[in-house]
Amino acid sequence: MKKKNMMIMTINLSSRDVLIEDREDLTGYLGGVALATQLLREHVMVEKSSLEEMQPIIFTKGPLNTIFPAVTKTCSMFKSPLTEELGESYGGLRTALAMGMAGLDGIVIFGKAKEPVYIHIDGEKAEMKDAKPLWYQNTDETTRLLHEQVGRPGLRSILAIGEGGINQVRFANVTVDTYRHFGRLGLGCLMGSKNLKAIVIEGEKSQPVEDPKSYRSLYREVYKKVTKTDVMEKYHGLGTSINISLLNDLGGLPINNFQKTSDVGAKAISGESFAQHRLIKKIACSGCPIGCIHIALHRKNFGEPYEYEMATVSYDHELIYSLGSMIGIWSMDGILELIETVELAGLDAITTGVLLSWITEAFDKEIISTEETIVRPKFGDVEGYKKIIHHLVKRSNDFYEEASTGTYRVSRRYGGQDFAMVLGKNEVAGYHTGYGNIIGQAVGARHSHLDNAGYAIDQENQKYNQEEMVQKLMEEEINRNFLNSLVICLFARKVYDDKTVVKALNSIGYDFDEKKLKDLGLKTFLEKIRLKKEMGFHYKKTSFPKRFFETSCCNTVIKKEEAEAILNLYSEEVEKLLSHT
Amino acid sequence: MKEKNHNNSKVLKVINIGQCIGCYSCMLACSTQVYNNFSLQKSAIRVKTSGGYQGRMVINICRGCMAGACIASCPSNALEARAGGGVILHREACIGCKKCISACIGRAITFDKEEKKVILCRQCGICVDSCPHHVIDMEEVQ
């Protein structure tokens, strides 16, 4: 079996040094989150601020990226400016392809440039180039200008931050190739703190196919499963926005800051409505024949007679929830307008929506006033929310300074934590389905619904006892850690069962079996928890906003005592695993 | 290299460009099956966006000209007219001068820096089967 390379590029923005190494010692980590966790362990200063100059940003791909259907993601890890704890995020479209073309398995960036720069990676070379003209440009204009540079259009990836990242909003994200993101947890803020406006990745690395027969036969098998069966139909058809109607019918769609969970207005913003009235095309990440990225046409009248402008905006369930139902917006145009606003500023949509909903309710409860908010917040008021987003990005006054650090911190200062919808300091996703959902986000390594899909466990309609719930959440998160090491799109998780993953790795010359995969998942799961603990996280410090237990959750009410009992049990099980490993 | 036995009178055509999602499955089929390489730089079919993702998908392929300008531009007789349209590349004769690349207004020919030879479509049709949306097909040349 041919030796596998593990090419890691290290870029020091302070000294402008670039180093490229073949880290043979890391080959066993395959890529993605397993590799990124190790690189983070090597470079992160766990006790120092996330924005300390030498804190790293890590990007990793996996060996199956692009060459197998729907293996399309890139993993990023860092210390989160939002939570000051473990940061982990996944981006799609062309980044993994471009890293592969550059011949890179991992990129580590640390230090701080003296002036605004963007990094241009071309194969094994990396240059820091002047980004002063780009600095205050929005994400779209930045991407356009970089796109117009000489290079390999179609085979390169452009990562950019907007004004949110420039101004150190703690939940600023990174836009990837216009329509995807490294979202949540503030990677954009971290890039901004390093005077790093954008990253362009490309290359021409040759990668001969070692065993064409074995590879091609398996590729065809997986391709058929992806395109000819209904395993991924949900994502291709309406996309995840199919959940809006489903959750609303179940009584599990968060509305007006979780004050209720069902509303007749949901029909107007359902996945069905968007598909019928606004959808204009679907696009795909490089290497995925599904095409789940739903693009809507946002048509805006700006004058008479018949004066129109347009924007094309991507949408999905989490965006319709956070910038729609969560803040009482029941019109598709209103939601698209707000999505476009956060996109151009480079803010995380879920966090922005949850924060807006907290601001609105805190205002309604007279915890804050227009002295703080400047604008009068009101559920359903699109124009008002656009102004508030503007103040958040500009950090216009003392209140917005605090609000730009996220819902957890602003509610700690001003009050209203009972309805500050965060778990593990991260704003929650668009579900109120039961214990699986809230415990899942509370214990997940990045406090995301995607860590362990607790919301999906709730929707299995099974009565799980506390032990079973803990087991299911833990098993799913461990499983996702090895999927994320490869970095398979989680929408394709049912395509890539353990056997298929092993066969795929074997077909390109990796000596891996199911046990090794499981071990890698468990090892990564535990190493991330160790890192979290060193950064100050503890399960026992986790609290649940009271609102979760006040609002009907799929026609029942869940109890705080039960949630705490499951959390404690989870914590005990993790401690056992840590002590045995 | 493998040669799929498509009808010689047919050439590759982009028939439904509006349905392209940019998945690159066709490019992967070409690079892995024709050029035996995972690098999409080796693909003779090139999918990209026109004006970024806000724009539209476009595909650069050999348009299957009869006696195309590329043939006339080649100083080493590496290109020969293919019956039914397009060209046959005699790789051993290619000297890597890139004159054919400039001659083709269809932007169909690219350069393999590793091999120092041009990459162009063989009209084998392998890419067609991999397209999930029937964007490309083999058709009679007009």
CATH number of the domain that A257 lies in?
Answer: 1.10.569.10
Calpha distance A454→A460 (Å, rounded): 10
**Are A22 and A144 in a shared domain?**
yes
Tell if the CB–CB gap between A286 and B130 is shorter than 8 Å: no
Q: Please tell me if residue B1 touches chain A, with a CB cutoff of 8 Å.
A: no
Which residues have a Cβ under 8 Å from the Cβ of A468 and sit 6 or more positions away?
none
Contacts of A153 in chain B (CB under 8 A): 48-49
Q: Please tell me if residue B37 touches chain A, with a CB cutoff of 8 Å.
A: yes
Tell if the CB–CB gap between A101 and B39 is shorter than 8 Å: yes
**Are A246 and A163 in a shared domain?**
no
Distance from CA of B61 to the nearest CA of A (A): 14
Calpha distance B7→B2 (Å, rounded): 15
Q: Kindly state whether residue A428 falls inside one of the protein's structural domains.
A: no
- In this prediction the pTM is 0.95
pLDDT band at B5 (very low <50, low <70, confident <90, very high): very low
pLDDT of B4 > 50? The answer is no
pLDDT of B6 > 60? The answer is no
CATH number corresponding to B10-140: 3.30.70.20
Task: Say what the pLDDT of residue A403 is.
Answer: 98
What is chain A's mean pLDDT, rounded? 96
Q: Kindly state whether residue A62 falls inside one of the protein's structural domains.
A: yes
Tell if the CB–CB gap between A283 and B130 is shorter than 8 Å: no
**Are A441 and A418 in a shared domain?**
no
Calpha distance A132→A117 (Å, rounded): 7
Q: Please tell me if residue B28 touches chain A, with a CB cutoff of 8 Å.
A: yes
Q: Please tell me if residue A220 touches chain B, with a CB cutoff of 8 Å.
A: no
- ipTM for the predicted complex comes to 0.89
Last residue of a domain, one of A390, A423, A456: A423
Rounded mean pLDDT of A495-516?
94
Contact A416, A365 (CB under 8 A): yes
pLDDT band at A233 (very low <50, low <70, confident <90, very high): confident
Q: What share of chain A is helix, strand, coil (3-state, %, to 5)?
A: 45, 15, 40
Q: Which tens digit of pLDDT belongs to each residue from A91-122?
A: 999 999 999 999 999 999 999 999 999 999 99
Of A144, A209, A215, the CB nearest to B52: A144
Contacts of A152 in chain B (CB under 8 A): 41
Q: Which tens digit of pLDDT belongs to each residue from B60-72?
A: 999 999 889 999 9
Q: Please tell me if residue A518 touches chain B, with a CB cutoff of 8 Å.
A: no
Q: Which tens digit of pLDDT belongs to each residue from A125-169?
A: 999 999 999 999 999 999 999 999 989 989 999 999 999 999 999
Joined together, the tokens standing for residue A324 give 């729609």
Tell if the CB–CB gap between B36 and A66 is shorter than 8 Å: no
Q: Kindly state whether residue A49 falls inside one of the protein's structural domains.
A: yes
- Helix (H), strand (E) at residue A472: helix A466-483
A72: containing domain: 7-202
**Are A175 and A33 in a shared domain?**
yes
Q: Kindly state whether residue A506 falls inside one of the protein's structural domains.
A: no
Calpha distance B108→A432 (Å, rounded): 52
**Are A24 and A150 in a shared domain?**
yes
Of B24, B36, B114, the CB nearest to A287: B24
The nearest alpha carbon in chain B to A215 belongs to B32
Tell if the CB–CB gap between B21 and A284 is shorter than 8 Å: yes
**Are A188 and A307 in a shared domain?**
no
Q: Please tell me if residue A210 touches chain B, with a CB cutoff of 8 Å.
A: no
What pairs with residue A17 in β-bridges?
A12
Domain coordinates in residue numbering, chain B: 10-140
pLDDT band at A3 (very low <50, low <70, confident <90, very high): low
Task: Say what the pLDDT of residue B78 is.
Answer: 97
Q: What is the count of structural domains for chain A? A: 3
Q: Please tell me if residue A231 touches chain B, with a CB cutoff of 8 Å.
A: no
Task: Say what the pLDDT of residue B53 is.
Answer: 78
pLDDT of B1 > 80? The answer is no
What pairs with residue A390 in β-bridges?
none
Contact B76, B61 (CB under 8 A): no
Of B22, B32, B33, the CB nearest to A283: B22
Q: Please tell me if residue A510 touches chain B, with a CB cutoff of 8 Å.
A: no
**Are A177 and A297 in a shared domain?**
no
> Any alpha helices (H) in B9-98, and if so which ranges?
25-29, 69-73
Joined together, the tokens standing for residue B50 give 């026109």
**Are A107 and A245 in a shared domain?**
no
**Are A180 and A90 in a shared domain?**
yes
Q: Kindly state whether residue A216 falls inside one of the protein's structural domains.
A: no
pLDDT of A461 > 90? The answer is no
Beta-strand runs (E) in A343-502: 422-423, 426-427
* Collapsed DSSP state (helix, strand, coil) of residue B31: helix
Please give the order of strands across the beta sheet that includes A174-176: A125-130, A117-122, A196-202, A157-160, A174-176, A180-182
Interface probe for B, chosen from A204, A218, A220, A229 (most Cβ of B below 10 Å), is A204
Percentage of chain B surpassing pLDDT 70?
94
Distance from CA of A403 to the nearest CA of B (A): 32
Task: Say what the pLDDT of residue B3 is.
Answer: 41
The nearest alpha carbon in chain B to A219 belongs to B29
Q: Kindly state whether residue A210 falls inside one of the protein's structural domains.
A: no
Task: Say what the pLDDT of residue B9 is.
Answer: 81
Distance from CA of B18 to the nearest CA of A (A): 9
Residue with tokens 């092993």: A502
Peptide bond into A305 cis (omega under 30): yes
Rounded mean pLDDT of B14-40?
96
Rounded mean pLDDT of A42-71?
97
Distance from CA of A288 to the nearest CA of B (A): 5
Calpha distance A451→A479 (Å, rounded): 10
**Are A321 and A258 in a shared domain?**
yes
pLDDT of A1 > 60? The answer is no
* Collapsed DSSP state (helix, strand, coil) of residue A536: coil
Distance from CA of A291 to the nearest CA of B (A): 6
What pairs with residue A285 in β-bridges?
none
Q: How far is CA A7 from the centre of its chain?
A: 25
Q: Kindly state whether residue A457 falls inside one of the protein's structural domains.
A: yes
Tell if the CB–CB gap between B22 and A312 is shorter than 8 Å: no
- A133 CB neighbour count, 10 Å cutoff: 11
Calpha distance A18→A125 (Å, rounded): 8
